[in-house]
Structure formats: C-alpha cells, structure tokens
Structure 1
C-alpha cells in the first residue's frame, strides 16, 4: 500500500515542489548513486532524494532511512509523515540544535536559522512551510519532541537498518553516538537478573540458574561486577553448568573461576568436577582461578573479545545484532589472518555466507603454506557455493587443486600424502556439491567440467574416503547425466 504522504506529494505538484525546495525532500529523485541493500534482508525502497545526491529510503516497510552519497546512513524517522515533519520544521540548515534545549530555546534557534535561510536562498520560506504543513495535514508537535524522536530513531539504526553497498558488502558509516553497543545489549538481561538477585529476589536466582542462556549473561555480568555476596548464586550457576554436560565448556570454566576465587573448602568437590581434577583443595582452587583469570577470564570488560558478545547475541536469538556487529568488525579489519578466520567462521555460523566469503577471500591470500592454502580455499569454495556464486566457488576449488598439486607432478612438501588426509576428502566432496549445484541451476557445461575434476580426485584419494563419498558421487553423476 502506498504511503498516504507520498501519495499526496506524487499527485500534487505544488506540494512536491515546496518539499523539494527549500526542504530538500524531492520525490522526483527517488534513486541512489549506487546499489544498496539492508544487511537484514528487509525491504528497501528509495522514495526521495536531496540536492547532494543523498537518498531517503522506506526501510523495512515503514521507517525512513537517509543515506548520503558519501557513504553515511542513519535512520531518521519511524514513518514518512514523521520524516517530513522533521525536514519541514527542523530543516537541515538548523545545525545548532541540542538535546539540552527546552522548547523556547529550540524555537528561538530555529527562528534564527530560518532568518538566515530567508536572506540567503529561501525568501518565501514561511509561506512554503505553512502550505506544506496544511497540505500534508502534519500535526503541530513541540519541536523538542520532534528532535527527541529524531535522536531516538538514529539510535535504532542498528541492527535492523544497517545499509550495505551491494557491490563490496561494506556497511555505510554511522556516527559514533548512534552506533549500537552490542556488549550492553547482550549483557542487559544478565545485569538485570543479577540486580534482582542482589535485591533478594529468590525467584530471580532460580530463573538465573535454570535458564542456560540467561545463566551465561549472569555469569558475564558477575565477571565484570564482582561482589562477595554473589557466591551463593555463583554456586548454583556452577552446579547447573556442571549438570549441563560439556557443550558449554567456556561458561562452566568461568563459573568455576568465579567460585574458586573465594577459596572455600566446601566448594572443592564441585570445582574438582568442573576442572577435571585440577583443583584438589582450596589453595589449588585459588591458584588455578587466578591463572585462568589472567589468561582469559579477567575483570577488564574493555579487554574482552568482541566475539564474546557476538556469540552471546546469537545464543540470545539476536542474530541481526550479531550480524551488524560482525560486519562492522570486518569493515575495520586489515590483513590479520587470525581475526579474518574468526570473522569468517562466525559469519558462516549465523548463515551469512556472502559476508563470510568477504572475510575468507583475503584470508586465503595470507596463507604461507600449501596446506593452509588448500584448507582455506576449500572453505572459500564452500562459502561461495552457499551464497550462490558458483563461478567464484569454481575458482576457489581451482586454487585448492593447485595447492595440493592435483594434476602436478610435484606438490609442495607439506602436501605429501594429501590424498590420504582429510583435506583430500573435503576438496573432493566440495567438487561433488558444486557439480550438483551447477546441475541444479541448469549450467550443464560447468557441471560436467566440475564432475571431471571430481572423478580424478575420487581416483586419487584414499579408498575409505572415496567410499564415504559414494552416495554423493552417484547423485552428482546422475545429475550430470540428466543434463
């Protein structure tokens, strides 16, 4: 359904003209300087532009996002009507407005800026503003309310309205005051639960210990805000972590550290279980805990890895929060192999194969050994295939074959016996998967070429590996034959 305010502007030229000048909301400029999309995959529709090449977008169906021609983007309003109110009543030439102004001060500031605008370029400003407000049926809100709404919208740009350049997948910039603090977002539930427990809420203690996701948040909150009185809660959390098995080893270790630092003999039995026998008495408990604290579970929240918060966000179901943070991290990462690898795996884990491939491509170029090149080329091929770029996946597999010396009489020394190792099976498997994908989209020539490489690999790798891939191989052969 067309937005009613946009419909009015599109059908009443005199109002559209006034909105375009001097208020810089031109519905005839409903296009952007480059292809863009939202990281979340939500809808994005250009609805107007300004005289600098910037664009107003309908983001996610209702909210209005503004993107400059120089790579900045910010959510400005929750609706088109609200965006128009701000453009008309708090125009762009009023740059000296601040949140600490009261209504009288803000109106005085706008009047002063308007006077300059009338003198310099918009002599009929008052009449144009009145015509637009009346013609669009805009409400008369206090300016302080409009300003507060604009600030609130800007602070909600991330994660749902994160704008990406479609060509290179980099995010548009957002001013620091409006950037999302993922750490505060994901620690919020744990901090609140810890606060309730400290206030004597027994139900909160039971909830914090019983919910594995909330339990992790409480542990992280307690890690950076430690109090002796938290020991009973930490004991319950440790017991729950020990009873949960080994799938959340990091949380179990953190709980053990926080309990062990108190050095109570009564906790030794549970700590012995949590540490696989490392802790034997109260003395070794404190010694072990201090070593773990120095190594990875310290008190300095600023020193904590950013991946701690993205993993917690994912556990909490905040996938878009994690995605936005990981994309920002990737944008800020240079030729750092360790960080690129962690980013690639984290992005793949949340299902963003395109961004994962963006991290993986430079990672592959940083590898020094044939073995590492083969492994990272295999990963890149998998990511490119899953994002739908089969040609790029084929190029990555070509690099994988080159790394293992497939078809070459003399592979690098570190790849001796590659065909009997796991990498041989993985590369072969990816060729078969790519064959199926190519056949599935009707690219018969590419499917046949990829299958030819797969056959040579199947004849080269170990018999057990080839046998394990027999079902997949049969499907790939039939897919090619069917073309």
Structure 2
C-alpha cells in the first residue's frame, strides 16, 4: 500500500485544486477534522487526510485503508490505500452512484451506469480533461469503470468488522452504506447455525458469541453486539415483553453488558449497563444495577486510551 499520490497532492497546488474540484477530495479540509469525534470500534489509529463539500471526511486507518465518513452518520471503506481510493474517486467521479454495483452486474450495466452518471455531471462542469490531467500528475492508472467498480466493491465488503466507525462520545456505530433498516439478530449477523434451536432468541447471547470468539473473530462479535445495543438505544420498544406488551424486559441489556465485559470492552459494557439500570422497576433493582455500572465505569477509566480524531 502506498500514499505517493497524497504526497503529490499536498505538494502541488494545481493537483490539489483538481482533486478538490471536480472530484471532491479536498486535502485542505483535513485541517478541519470530522464533524464530531470518531474512533474505530477495533481501536486502531485514524488520520483525516481530506474532506468533501458536504461535511464528509476521508480517513486513513492503521492498515492504510481509506474510510469515507459522511456528516450524517454513515461510513464505509472506499479503497485499500489512498492511491486506490483516489483511482476510484477520479475514475468513477460520483463513486456513491456505483456503490450498489458488483462485478457480477456485468460490463453492459456498469458502462450504462457510467454513461448516465457522467452525462449528468457534464451538464454542470467538465471532468474529462480534468481526470486525465489529475491521473497523469499523480501517476495513477486510467482504469476501466468495470475494474473500478470491482475495486470499490472489494473495499466496501471489507468495511466490517475491522473498519467500523463509532461516535467517540456516544459509542454508537456509524451505519454502513447499505445497512438494512432492521438490524439482524446476532446469530444471523455472525452466521452461526441455529439447527436444533426451536427459538434462537430464547438462547443466551453467549450461545452465539462464544463459538465465534473461539474462531478468533473478536471484531465480528464486537460489531454484532454494538449494532444490537444501538438498536435497543434507538428503539426501546424492541425490549417489550411478548406476553405483556405494556412492559419492557431490560434483561437483554444486562446480557450485552456481560458480553462486552467478556470482550474487555468496558466502555460499551458501561453503555449497556447504564440503560439497563435506567429501565429497572424498583429502587432496589436500580441501586444494584447502578452499583454494577459504577464498577464498569472504573474499569472503563482504567482501560487503554483509544485513538480518536475530531
């Protein structure tokens, strides 16, 4: 993985100007950071290298992969390196218009989408001469739209679980580009077989997480748990008791806290435990849950610091 193109953009005002417009990769916006503090769920390093004109940012992860984080809480990988991300951004112009395509869609459909998107762009400004000048100046390859869609698709599919972005204050996950409205249950998210279980939802959460952890897939478990907790935070109606719809059953939150603690992710455990405590019915239950939250708060305070960018 290389970043020679990024160095050239920083050193050459003309190339930086072309990257910023019409290709919306503005290295000068890196100084502004992101619209809010963010971190990776996996805890790795992050560096903001550019921004776009809608408040989004381009962030390089520790392995060199490039995340695009928008200003509305969405994030996804667009390249395995800055050079690759720039080839996609310049070659596809409006990369988001191609994010639903895969190489299996075939050359005819990809080229038709390219013609449609670029025709619309050319109604407002030029991209052809600008593309050639920028690619040449950066020493990047001129690739076909089919190849670029393949590169973008491979990057997108690598976003989870190792490149999931969190709001560093609230610890909720940014949504993936094509996240479904309804978060799948952990056994589906983790791909665990449910043969022999009459009601998978009735099984302890550890039934699904521990076999996956034994495979070394720690980040897959972490992301599945974070997205499940996010769903409960956003819609406490998901905790309604089937037999008594007027009451909530907060026990799934306690389960989540226990699983996060097992992972050593005390900040997320604390987040789950605090909501669990807030939903207790009696003073005694609230006091016991609050005491557990205090213990987790102390553990979270002692936990290693995670890189944050803002």
TM-score when normalising by structure 1: 0.54
How far apart are the structure 2 equivalents of 1:2 and 1:141?
A: 18
Deviation for aligned residue 1:68? 0.5
Corresponding position: 1:113 with 2:117: yes
Residue 157 of structure 1: aligned partner: 159
Task: Mark the CA change 1:150 to 1:305 in structure 2 (over 3 Å): closer, same or farther.
Answer: farther
How far apart are the structure 1 equivalents of 2:151 and 2:184?
A: 17
Q: Where does structure 2 lack aligned partners over 5 or more consecutive residues?
A: 240-248, 304-310
CA contact (8 A) 2:3 2:81 kept: no
Deviation for aligned residue 1:180? 9.5
Task: Mark the CA change 1:347 to 1:70 in structure 2 (over 3 Å): closer, same or farther.
Answer: same
SS of structure 1 residue aligned to 2:97: coil
Residue 6 of structure 2: aligned partner: 6
Alpha-carbon RMSD across the aligned residues, in angstroms, is: 2.8
SS of structure 2 residue aligned to 1:82: helix
Aligned match for 1:343, one of 232, 235, 256 = 256
Aligned match for 1:76, one of 70, 78, 93 = 78
Deviation for aligned residue 1:104? 5.0
Residue 385 of structure 1: aligned partner: 298
CA contact (8 A) 1:49 1:56 kept: yes
How far apart are the structure 2 equivalents of 1:155 and 1:115?
A: 28
How far apart are the structure 1 equivalents of 2:202 and 2:147?
A: 38
How far apart are the structure 1 equivalents of 2:138 and 2:218?
A: 38
How far apart are the structure 2 equivalents of 1:152 and 1:2?
A: 18
Residue 49 of structure 1: aligned partner: 51
Residue 324 of structure 1: aligned partner: 223
Residue 433 of structure 1: aligned partner: none
Deviation for aligned residue 1:326? 0.5
How far apart are the structure 1 equivalents of 2:221 and 2:93?
A: 34
CA contact (8 A) 1:93 1:113 kept: no
CA contact (8 A) 2:91 2:143 kept: no
Q: Which has the higher helix share?
A: 1
Task: Mark the CA change 1:182 to 1:78 in structure 2 (over 3 Å): closer, same or farther.
Answer: farther
CA contact (8 A) 2:186 2:228 kept: no
Runs of 4+ in structure 1 deviating by more than 4 angstroms, as ranges, are 179-187, 300-307
Deviation for aligned residue 1:49? 0.6
Q: Where does structure 1 lack aligned partners over 5 or more consecutive residues?
A: 188-219, 225-292, 391-483
CA contact (8 A) 2:114 2:145 kept: no
How far apart are the structure 2 equivalents of 1:380 and 1:78?
A: 39
Deviation for aligned residue 1:318? 1.5
Task: Mark the CA change 1:137 to 1:104 in structure 2 (over 3 Å): closer, same or farther.
Answer: farther
Aligned match for 2:210, one of 296, 311, 317 = 311
Deviation for aligned residue 1:147? 0.6
How far apart are the structure 1 equivalents of 2:276 and 2:263?
A: 19
SS of structure 2 residue aligned to 1:95: helix
Residue 272 of structure 2: aligned partner: 359
| Highest RCO, 1 vs 2 (Cα 8 Å, sep ≥ 6) | 2
TM-score when normalising by structure 2: 0.82
Task: Mark the CA change 1:94 to 1:61 in structure 2 (over 3 Å): closer, same or farther.
Answer: closer
Larger radius of gyration: 1
How far apart are the structure 1 equivalents of 2:189 and 2:231?
A: 21
How far apart are the structure 2 equivalents of 1:15 and 1:366?
A: 55
Alignment of 1:250-269 (within 5 A): none
User: Deviations 1:387-424 (Å, cap 9, x if unpaired)?
Assistant: 1189xxxxxxxxxxxxxxxxxxxxxxxxxxxxxxxxxx
Residue 20 of structure 2: aligned partner: 20
Task: Mark the CA change 1:184 to 1:152 in structure 2 (over 3 Å): closer, same or farther.
Answer: farther
